[in-house]
Structure 1
Amino acid sequence: MAPYESDDAASAAQGEDLHSGRRKAARYVVPVAVVGVAAATIGLVPALADSGDPDLPKITAQQLIEKIAKSDVQQLSGTVKVSTDLGLPDLGGLESSLASGAAQGGGSSADPTSKLTELVSGTHTLRVATDGPDRQKLSLLESGAEYSLIHDGKDIWGYDSKSNEVYHGTAADSGKEHRAEPPATPKDFADEALKSVDDTTSVTVDGTAQVAGRDAYKLLIKPKQSGTTVGAISIAVDAKTGMPLKFTLTPRSGGAAVLDAGFTQVSFAKPAASTFDFTPPKGAKVTEEKEGSKASEHAPTSGQGFAEGLDGATVLGEGWTSIATFDTGAKGGLPSGSQDGADGAFGGFLGSLGDQVSGKFGKGTVFSTRLVNALITDDGKVYAGAVTKDTLVKAANEGK
């Protein structure tokens, strides 16, 4: 279905409304947050196929963006499905080995961080529920098992039914600013994407769709610049509530979506209070959070948390070709595979996954996915962004 307005008209419509002061930082965060949030917060919202094109009143891109901004859904429950295809190599069970090693090292398989790598690839089904800012639950359904992450007031619980292990922590103090988003909604991704809209971006309304039985408008965001790996971002927006129901990011290289996240079933009724009740099962091993490590760091949040980790980075370039760079202080590049010990073996393994490059900056290794690429130089500098390998090397040459 043809867009309701042209790319140029939609871009011009954004004007002064999109917080220009945050655009450069947000530009880098948007594509990386898609990966980072998927892997760092278990906060992805699975998506589903359209089932028709409902006849809805016409709306401009600017009006649809404003509708998203005004959306304030406090209560919901549903089933979600998330598919992630970064083009990562088969690690041959490395994720399980790392999780097992962490457990043997005194950690817990119920710790949220032990589940994060599972969402970096493949397709996963989740059940989600939220009742205001202080109560959320996300359950990752596995074969014959289930992992649940529950936020109820000050308590945050993680429970792995497979190992019968429990992780318990506390959320941030009520006196501090703390944002615990619904565990699985595309709204966070949409918010970050919209921060990146400026004159380097085309924004249009691309027809209508039905997602999880709800009538929705489709907002299409496309970079105009070359050198970025981002092809397009499509957001299905609930026509009634303004809440994003589906978020799909496709790479410029084509093929399957890097991230397809959206509801397969959703209800905006208040979930039963018992949904958020949790008592450790009899015989379960309970691990309390370590001093100085807040469980709230693992609670479902927006991509903002990932962005905060980039505060020490310098941003090179503009728009969708922005690159974050920082100095690790580690000279000599990756550990050599010829070294003794785990560090050498791991370094050799990583090196085998990357491409060796050289330029005015010296030598280094580029690690590539279908979305985010990173260059680690032999003198310890890192350049990363949703850009091509050639764009990274050029930035390193110019940034030397």
Structure 2
Amino acid sequence: MAPYESDDSTSAGEAEDVRAGRRKAARYVVPVAVMGVAAATIGLVPALADSGDPDLPKISAQRLIEKIAESDVEQLSGTVKISTDLGLPDLGGLGSSFASGAVQGGEDGSSADPSSKLMELASGTHTLRVAADGPDRTKVSLLDSAAEYSLIHNGTDVWGYDSASNEVYHSTVPKSEGGEKTAPEGVPATPKELTDEALKAVDDTTSVTVDGTAQVAGRDAYKLLIKPKQSGSTIGAITVAVDSRTGLPLKFTLTPASGGAAVVDAGFTKVDFSKPAASTFDFTPPKGAKVTEGDAAQAPETSRKSDEKLGEGLEGLEGLKTIGEGWNAIAQFDTGGEGVPSGSSGNSDVDGFLDSLGDQVSGKFGSGTVFSTRLVNALITDDGKVYAGAVTKDALVKAANAAQ
């Protein structure tokens, strides 16, 4: 059966058109990317909190996906509640050091750098206030009990402000042309982005159906249900609530195959599609604030070059290939070095963190460590080979054994 399962028939040609250009990388990258995007761009992505089942006209999964693609909403404001549960142990001070290290890169790091603050969305529950007026004006404010962090993109300026430290981060980007996004990579832009990433995984190994209706933040919506057909994936299902009038995703929930709480549950509690006031995106550094100028290399052209360089680096990994297909696909490569045996780093905090995630395994391949979350698992063998994907530990061991 074609991946879009509904009461309406869909020709093989139509299904192939939807899948065109997505299948090569999406097979193993997208299940991982879903979580990556959730951590980095979840700021404007909506959550699942049904408050009713509105009576809406029937729609096929194919047409609902088209409706998402056709959505042209550029103006909105509202409040988003986000919960993320990867099942990671409490990082304590180690988490802070990781976040700090991600942005410092030297002595000029700033607590207002977005790459530091956005990492906080990778765990726990957070409330965000969001606003957008086209591709050149967006604002996301991460609310805390005693402080607030705001990330503002206004024209060619990107500002980050941390009220707790009274620090400001500033960088510049080119003005967009034809609606093209120009904000730095990793900065939240639209609710549609996370859903687009999930849809890249849709192929013949995927079931996509319309699973009733819901009401989110007072808006009537259809529920799109995306599920792997194969067993062995750690992903149970992805549910997206799509606004019935605008086609904009209003909720995104990713549940694991193991059951329990959602890995990602993010969504609007309030939303307004009227044009925000222009002053919403104005920002002037407060008196006495420390201002750190970011690298203008965050512009799309430089980001593109960085992505190309990363791609070249991946291609340089010995034996990079994909094992299996669809949601069960596993990325395999050779680091060319040793694995990550327990206690190897010499840092007790880091070793303790790795040990808390790791599970020693062995087989025909030898021995190694499986590092697990509720979504993505990776087996690193003691001779430096890596097997990673949104699959179970047993699937990784089986793949490593078969590769011998």
Please, what TM-score do these two structures have when normalized by structure 1?
A: 0.87
Q: Does 1:37 align with 2:37?
A: yes
For residue 386 of structure 1, what is the amino acid of its counterpart?
A
* Shift in CA distance, 105/352, structure 1 to aligned 2, threshold 3 Å: farther
Q: Does 1:72 align with 2:72?
A: yes
2:83 equivalent in structure 1: 83
Residues 367-394 of structure 1: CA deviation (Å, up to 9, x unaligned): 1111111112222232211100111122
1:137 equivalent in structure 2: 139
For residue 136 of structure 2, what is the amino acid of its counterpart?
D
For residue 188 of structure 2, what is the amino acid of its counterpart?
P
Residues 128-151 of structure 1: CA deviation (Å, up to 9, x unaligned): 111111111111111111111111
Residues 92-135 of structure 1: CA deviation (Å, up to 9, x unaligned): 23223444666694411101121133111111110111111111
* Shift in CA distance, 396/56, structure 1 to aligned 2, threshold 3 Å: same
For residue 233 of structure 2, what is the amino acid of its counterpart?
T
2:117 equivalent in structure 1: 115
Looking at structure 2, the residues matched to 298 and 90 of structure 1 have their Cα atoms a distance apart, in angstroms, of: 35
Looking at structure 1, the residues matched to 8 and 356 of structure 2 have their Cα atoms a distance apart, in angstroms, of: 44
Conserved? CA contact 2:168–2:291, under 8 Å = yes
Conserved? CA contact 1:355–1:367, under 8 Å = yes
* Shift in CA distance, 335/284, structure 1 to aligned 2, threshold 3 Å: farther
Instruction: Choose 103-112 or 83-92, whichever is displaced more.
Output: 103-112
Looking at structure 1, the residues matched to 402 and 250 of structure 2 have their Cα atoms a distance apart, in angstroms, of: 41
* Shift in CA distance, 367/5, structure 1 to aligned 2, threshold 3 Å: closer
2:343 equivalent in structure 1: 337
* Shift in CA distance, 349/66, structure 1 to aligned 2, threshold 3 Å: closer
3-state secondary structure, aligned to 1:271: coil
Looking at structure 2, the residues matched to 42 and 308 of structure 1 have their Cα atoms a distance apart, in angstroms, of: 24
1:355 equivalent in structure 2: 359
Conserved? CA contact 2:135–2:176, under 8 Å = no
Looking at structure 2, the residues matched to 297 and 86 of structure 1 have their Cα atoms a distance apart, in angstroms, of: 33
Deviation at 1:15, TM superposition (A): 1.9
Deviation at 1:252, TM superposition (A): 0.8
Conserved? CA contact 1:47–1:261, under 8 Å = yes
Q: Does 1:325 align with 2:329?
A: no
Looking at structure 1, the residues matched to 71 and 175 of structure 2 have their Cα atoms a distance apart, in angstroms, of: 26
3-state secondary structure, aligned to 1:32: helix
Looking at structure 1, the residues matched to 107 and 341 of structure 2 have their Cα atoms a distance apart, in angstroms, of: 23
For residue 89 of structure 1, what is the amino acid of its counterpart?
P
1:379 equivalent in structure 2: 383
Conserved? CA contact 1:46–1:263, under 8 Å = yes
Gaps of 5+ in 1: none
Matched residues, number: 388
Conserved? CA contact 1:129–1:183, under 8 Å = no
CA RMSD of aligned residues (A): 3.2
Residues 63-82 of structure 1: CA deviation (Å, up to 9, x unaligned): 11111111111111111011
Looking at structure 1, the residues matched to 27 and 20 of structure 2 have their Cα atoms a distance apart, in angstroms, of: 11
Deviation at 1:89, TM superposition (A): 0.8
Looking at structure 2, the residues matched to 76 and 309 of structure 1 have their Cα atoms a distance apart, in angstroms, of: 38
Conserved? CA contact 1:356–1:363, under 8 Å = yes
Looking at structure 2, the residues matched to 11 and 221 of structure 1 have their Cα atoms a distance apart, in angstroms, of: 19
* Shift in CA distance, 386/265, structure 1 to aligned 2, threshold 3 Å: same
Instruction: Choose 344-353 or 221-230, whichever is displaced more.
Output: 344-353
Looking at structure 2, the residues matched to 57 and 134 of structure 1 have their Cα atoms a distance apart, in angstroms, of: 35
For residue 249 of structure 2, what is the amino acid of its counterpart?
P
2:323 equivalent in structure 1: 316
3-state secondary structure, aligned to 2:87: coil
1:51 equivalent in structure 2: 51
Looking at structure 2, the residues matched to 237 and 52 of structure 1 have their Cα atoms a distance apart, in angstroms, of: 14
Conserved? CA contact 1:13–1:62, under 8 Å = no
Conserved? CA contact 2:99–2:119, under 8 Å = no
3-state secondary structure, aligned to 2:396: helix
1:276 equivalent in structure 2: 281
For residue 260 of structure 1, what is the amino acid of its counterpart?
D
2:167 equivalent in structure 1: 165
Conserved? CA contact 2:137–2:153, under 8 Å = yes
Conserved? CA contact 1:48–1:212, under 8 Å = no
Looking at structure 2, the residues matched to 321 and 244 of structure 1 have their Cα atoms a distance apart, in angstroms, of: 26
For residue 145 of structure 1, what is the amino acid of its counterpart?
A
Deviation at 1:170, TM superposition (A): 1.7
Gaps of 5+ in 2: none
Conserved? CA contact 2:89–2:356, under 8 Å = no
Looking at structure 2, the residues matched to 22 and 206 of structure 1 have their Cα atoms a distance apart, in angstroms, of: 24
Looking at structure 1, the residues matched to 14 and 224 of structure 2 have their Cα atoms a distance apart, in angstroms, of: 13
Conserved? CA contact 2:48–2:252, under 8 Å = no
Conserved? CA contact 2:208–2:225, under 8 Å = yes
Deviation at 1:19, TM superposition (A): 2.7
2:22 equivalent in structure 1: 22
* Shift in CA distance, 367/218, structure 1 to aligned 2, threshold 3 Å: same
Looking at structure 1, the residues matched to 352 and 255 of structure 2 have their Cα atoms a distance apart, in angstroms, of: 31
Looking at structure 1, the residues matched to 54 and 256 of structure 2 have their Cα atoms a distance apart, in angstroms, of: 27
Looking at structure 2, the residues matched to 273 and 121 of structure 1 have their Cα atoms a distance apart, in angstroms, of: 32
